[in-house]
Each structure stands twice: as structure tokens, then as C-alpha cells.
Chain A
Amino acid sequence: MVSALPGIGSAQTRAQEAAERVTDPELPMLTLADLGVLRGVEAKADGAVVVRVTPTYSGCPAMAEMRSRLAAELRAAGFHEVRVKTELQPPWTSDWISEAGRRKLAEHGIAPPGSAPPSDAGPVPLVLSPTRRVVPCPRCGSGDTEELSRFAATSCRALHRCRSCREPFEHFKEI
């Protein structure tokens, strides 16, 4: 392998690759890039790296851990000054989960999210009629599933049950 000359371009690539390796503390099969919370990585001319992240939920308890992991990984990649900035706007949406991320979720028994409701369509209507989108079972593929609880082990997941294979499973919520 030809080693690249040390310069801005290679530093950018190294920083990007390092940041994109970092996994999510609560969904360790996904990287932060898969999850869409990694919003940007920029290697500066002075050797610093600026990373932008956005929380999935306001109360996401994993944010501090994510910042810490990013700093550690970038430091291990040779960057001594790492700034991790939080971005709230635009708010994170499950639509930002990558195709690879969706595949990995399904492989781990978590049904990936469908399309999120549009965020700029005015007041959110309250819908009380039982018109739920079918969430296929990630184990057997059956569409005969039911929601047990809209809230599960983490804010971003809901609890479902498959009526065909009788297994419970989690669903990554659309938000």
C-alpha cells in the first residue's frame, strides 16, 4: 500500500474513516454513520478535527458516550484535537438511517423503520382509529404482527409481537 503524503486530503480521509467506524452504544451493530447521527467530519489545516453529531431524541442518554467514543477513535487515529459539536437543527429523523443500517437492524431482529411522517406539514394530527402500518416480522417475514408497546428498551424502539412465529421483536420507530 502506498502511503499517502501527509496533507489535508489524507487527514480528511483518515478522520472520516475513523469517525465512521464508531458504533452506537445502544445498537452496537450500527455505526453512528449508519444511524445518521454523524452529520459531518472535517479535518482542519491546523490538525484539529471537527465532528458534528445530532441526537436521536432530546433525552438520548447515549450522546455523551457517543462524543467520548468519537474523541477516542479519532485520537487513536492520530488526531490530538477533536471538537464534537451537537446539532439540533434539522432534527434527526429515522429516514437518515442508511440502507446498510436498515439491513443490519433486520439481521439483528429489529424491524427497520418505514418512512417518517413529514415534519413540515403543520400541526401533527391525533389519529385514534386503529389504522396501523403493517410492520413485517424480522424473523419470519409475516405481516401478521401487533404492537405491544410504542416504547421499549430505548426511546427509539417499539415492542411488537409476531402472531405467526409467536416471537416478540422490536421495531425502530419512525420519527
Chain B
Amino acid sequence: MNDERISLALGEEGPDDARWAFGTGFEDPLHGIATAVPEGVEAARLAACCAALGDDALVTAQRLAEWCTDAPELEEELALANIGLDLLGQARLLYSRAGQVDGTGRDEDAFAYFRDAADFRNVRLVELPRGDFAFDMVRLLVLSAWRLALFERLAGAADPVLAAIAAKGVKELAYHRQFAAEWVVRLGDGTEESRKRTARALAEVLPWAVELARDEISAPFGADGGEASKALSDVLRQTADAAGLTLPPPAEAPAGTGRSGEHTEHLAPLVGELQSVAREHPGARW
């Protein structure tokens, strides 16, 4: 791909055509970025890593979007939508990179809209149904603390595009983690009810974090899931201490892993809803 021209047709059709969504013709968020795979980098592993990290982000963004019109306060709704938008942006970049290097030339839409749920490789933590606010804050804390630790390491990846996506994501994820951690402290240190629910959320979420510790998809690029998981444990301990909560004892992990395509029954309906418009109207533009 030599630095492709931005479509001047856009200028001719007027800026009103430049919307950002499925069907708008803006298919390449890596527009104009060099695409070669550096020597010594295995393209298949790079593609698998990018696609899986993209799946984690896309599925989380979709779950966060379910809070729209339903969050406890307007400010929190905006926050959750913003966090989802950051993650959606990360997913777009990662999918585009995966499609560049896996030999298929697929674009981001092919990854997001035209793969079946069974082809997603997200960790199962992110596909669990939306719970109460405490559940989703604990889940967001776990995901963002782990992902931040991964991305801090991936910023030094041998692939410059993945490294750049990660370096950019670090700044965003630090905000996400901060937001979730402050809520976990506030809820854990709040009323009897909020404390009870936060403790329950920790007990429900943490078994799924075992999968994060075993994840090796980013290991070839300097980010081991186990190491990132240690960083996550530190954050959880720090947050639980601040909230006066006791972390539940280590739990048995549910069998299987999302990274090998073994998902819960909750992923398929989420993916189905996400893809419904794109699949009903393939190639549509507006």
C-alpha cells in the first residue's frame, strides 16, 4: 500500500458525507501509515495478537454502550460512552493492523461485522452480561488494569504499528482504570448495600481473571499475560485496601478460554446485535 490518497471525492461531495460509522466509506483508520511487517516478526502471530486485543476492546465497548440511557447519572453515562469510544478506536486500529498483516487484506469492518461469534478470540470476562453498576465497575477495573499493563509492554513491540497503537492506548487506559478504581473505592466504602454488591461483584468477576493471567497472545511482542496479571493483582489489592474490602480467595477458573474460541453463551447474542445492521445491508452507504 503506497500512501494512498485521501479520497478527494469527499471534498466534492461535501463534508457532510464524512460521517464516521459503518457504511460511510471511512474504512481505514491506519490511513497512510506504513504497513510492512518488520523482519523477525511472525505475521500470523502479530495478526492473532492484534485481532484478539481488538476483540477484547470491541466486546467491552459494546457492553459499555448498553449503559446508555441506563447509568445512575448522566455524567457516568457520558464517562462509560467515552471509555467505550476509546476502546472502539483501539479496536479499529488493531483490526486494521490484523487485516494488513494476515494476508487476507480484510478491513476493520470484516473483523467487526462479518465474523461469527465462534471466530472471536476475546477473553470471556468481557462478554459476560452487564450486571449492576458495581459488577461493571469491578469488571472495568480488572480489564483496564490488565490491558494497561499489557499495552505498557506492547509499546516496545517489534512491530512499530502495534507499538504505536499501544503507546497511544496507554494514556487512555490509565484514565479508564482511574475511573473504575475510584468507583470501586466509592462503592466499597459507601453504604451497606453498595459494599455488599461490590464484594459480590469481586467474587463474581475474579474467577474470570484467571484466564487473563494465562493469556499468551501478546507474549511474542514482549507482553506476557502473567506479568500483566501481577500488575492487575497489585491494583486490586491497592483498590480493595482503599475501599476497606477483602479480596476473595483465589477461585477456580471456569474451564476453557476465550482465546481458543471457547465462549460463554453470552457472546453470540452480543455479536448478533452488533452485526445486525451490517449483515442486513452489506455494502450499504449513507
Contacts and interface: CB of A to CB of B under 8 A. Distances in A.
Interface of A: 50, 55, 57-65, 67-69, 71-72, 75, 80-93, 119, 122-124, 126-128, 148-155, 159, 173, 175
A92 B167 CA distance: 10
B33 A87 contact: yes
B83 A61 contact: no
Contacts of B145: 126
Interface in B163-201: 163-165, 167-172, 174-175, 177-179, 181-182, 185
A92 to B, nearest CB: 8
Given A75-B11, A151-B78, A152-B78, A126 B178 contact: yes
Contacts of B75: 148-149, 151, 159
Nearest to B165: A88
Contacts of B31: 67, 84-86
B20 A83 contact: no
B8 A71 contact: yes
Nearest to A94: B171
Interface string B63-104: 000000000000110110111011111101100000000000
Contacts, number: 156
Interface of B: 3-6, 8, 10-11, 15, 17-20, 24, 26, 29-33, 75-76, 78-79, 81-83, 85-90, 92-93, 145, 148-149, 152, 160-161, 163-165, 167-172, 174-175, 177-179, 181-182, 185, 231, 235, 238-239, 242
A171 B262 CA distance: 43
Contacts of A68: 6, 10-11, 15, 17-18
Given A58-B168, A151-B79, A63 B174 contact: no
A71 B88 CA distance: 25
Ordered nearest first, which 10 A-B pairs have the shortest CB separation? Answer: A59-B89, A58-B89, A85-B32, A149-B75, A88-B164, A151-B79, A89-B164, A151-B82, A68-B18, A59-B85
Contacts of A85: 3, 31-33
A124 B174 contact: yes
B82 A155 contact: yes
Contact of B20 (A65, A88, A127, A152): A65
28 contacts: A57-B89, A58-B168, A59-B89, A65-B18, A68-B15, A71-B8, A75-B11, A81-B5, A82-B5, A84-B6, A84-B31, A84-B32, A86-B29, A89-B160, A89-B164, A91-B164, A91-B168, A123-B231, A124-B148, A124-B170, A127-B178, A128-B185, A128-B238, A149-B76, A151-B75, A151-B83, A155-B86, A155-B172
A75 to B, nearest CB: 5
Contacts of B168: 55, 57-58, 88, 91-92
B281 to A, nearest CB: 20
Contacts of B179: 150-151
Nearest to B179: A150
Nearest to B151: A124
Given A67-B31, A69-B15, A175-B171, A82 B8 contact: yes
B89 A149 contact: no
